[in-house]
Structure 1
Amino acid sequence: MNAIWIAVAAVSLLGLAFGAILGYASRRFAVEDDPVVEKIDEILPQSQCGQCGYPGCRPYAEAISCNGEKINRCAQVAKL
């Protein structure tokens, strides 16, 4: 029975250590988002329909901001 508690304690300590490492790494290596992409993404309807040729609204917003893609490819925005 004592071996079980040692194993539980060891796995718990490993989980705590790896969790702390991952938490530190997520803050240390965080990537800042482009505010222009955020604003464009807020305007898009978030239907993720793919009619524009992109897999979702976020990649389409990035293409508008970075690659100069036209806003009229979104069928939902064109209806407005």
Structure 2
Amino acid sequence: MAGGRNREWIRKKMTAAAAGGSLRVRALSTALRQRRRRLPRVDLLRFFYESIVFRLLWVLESIIVLARLCFFFLRFGFRL
């Protein structure tokens, strides 16, 4: 929602700049346009969440593999 209001505000400022020709408003809209061209922000919370989930799944998979090995050795003995 905030993005829509922000765009509407920029549109109003751009129309005001076209009508009045104010240098300050043109500089503001140019700065906003340059800010949009930069690389997108990385959501740190999502990054940490994905990292934690990855580690948890890795540990869970390790436990399952270890449990299967223990079951195999207990069921069939240590002779191969």
- TM-score calculated relative to the size of structure 1: 0.35
Hey, which of these two has a bigger chunk of helix by percent? 2
User: Higher relative contact order by CA 8 Å / sep ≥ 6: 1 or 2?
Assistant: 1
TM-score between the two structures when normalised by the length of structure 2: 0.35
Greater CA radius of gyration, 1 or 2? 2
